Amino acid sequence: MAEEKKVIITQSMMKDFYDYYHGNQCGLIFVEKYINKNYEKFPPSDTQAVGNWFEYQCIGATTKQSKVPQPEKTAKGELTAPYKRMEAQVRNFKNFMMIYGIEIVSVQEKLTVGETTIMLTNEKGEEVPFKIDGLEGTTDVICKAKYDIKGIFEVKDDFGKVIRVEEQVIIFAGEEFILDIKTTGLLDDKWNDYGWELSHLHNKDKLVRQPIHYKYLTELLHGKQYKFLFLLFSQSNDYDFRSIIFNIDEQQHIKEHEEFIVWTNRWIKYHLKKGFQAVPDVVRCHGCALKLGCKHFMAVPKIQIYHYQPQKK
C-alpha cells in the first residue's frame, strides 16, 4: 500500500485548490506545483519576471529555484521600459525604508510549522481535533522598527466621504514585523481579484489570504501575531507606491482561517486518493507549461448552447 503523501499547507496552495475545487484551476497543474513541487516547470510571466527582478534589487530575494532574476535588455544593452520604471521604484523603496526607520532582519525567512492539531467546534458544540501534516510560508522580509511608525486611518460617513483622518502608531520602536513587497498595475482597481483599492480589499481573498496565513504562522511559532505591512509599487509608472498595514480580528479571522486550512487539507487528501482531474480551457491551455504531450490539451473551445428567451415587455 502506497504511503499517504504529506500535505504541507501554504497560502498559495489554499487559493489554488479553492480555484480547482470550483473548476477554475487544472488539477494536473496543482499536483505538479504543490504535490510534486516541480516549480521549475512554471516560469514566471513577463510581469512576474519584472517583479522578481525588482525584489532582488530591493532585498536580494532570489527565485524559488534560488536563481538570481535577470532583467530584459534592448539590443543596445539597456534595460527595457518596464525594468527602467522599476529601477526608479528601487530608489523609492530605499527612501521608504530610510524615512520610516525600518531595518531588515532577515530575507525570505521560511516559517515552518510541523505536524499540528487544529481544534474546531462541531454543530453540537463539541471540540473536534483535526491533524494537519504541516504549515509553511516564506516571508519577503522580517523587519524591525528603529522608532515608532505611524499610519493614518480615514473615518468615513455613510456615503463614503472622509470626515476625519486619525494618525496612529501602527508599529512600535524595536518591534519586529513582516514586510511584503508587491508590484502591480492595479493600485486603484476595485473589481479585479488582484486590485488594491482599499474599500473593496475585504472581498479579495487572493490578496488577504497571505497576511492572515503569515499572522497565523507567527502566532504558532512565536506566541504572537506579527504585524504585516504591504509595500505596493506601481508597474505603470515610476513614482506611485502605497503602503498598507493589514489588521485583522485576532480571534475571529484566525478561527475562520483554521476552518479553511482544515477544509483544504481534507479535500486535497480526498483528491489525492481519487485522483486530480484535468480542467482544460483554451486560454489556460494556451500558456500551460505542461501542454506539450498533454492528452487533455484544448486547442479549440467547446461549443456552448444558448437558448434565447426574450424578456417580456
Residues sharing a CB contact under 8 Å with residue 202, sequence separation 6 or more, in sequence order = 208
Summarised one tens digit per residue, pLDDT across range 7-36 is: 999 999 999 999 999 999 999 999 999 999
Tell whether the model's pLDDT for residue 40 goes beyond 90.
no
Give the model's pLDDT for residue 123. Answer: 87
Tell me the pLDDT band of 1, cut-offs 50, 70 and 90. Answer: very low
CA distances from 137 to 108, 120, 210 (A): 9, 22, 9
Domains of the chain: which residue ranges?
A: 1-42+265-313, 45-248
Crossing angle for the helix pair 205-222 and 11-21, nearest 10 degrees?
140
Amino acid identity for residue 261 in this structure: I
> Which secondary structure element, helix H or strand E, spans residue 151, and what is its range?
strand 149-156
Query: What is the percent of the chain with per-residue pLDDT over 70, rounded to a whole number?
Result: 99
CATH classification of 45-248 is 1.10.10, yes or no? Answer: no
**What average pLDDT does range 241-270 have in this prediction?**
94
Whole-structure pTM value: 0.92
Handedness of CA 72, 75, 77, 80 (dihedral sign): negative
Average pLDDT, the chain: 93
Summarised one tens digit per residue, pLDDT across range 281-313 is: 999 999 899 999 999 999 999 999 999 988 887
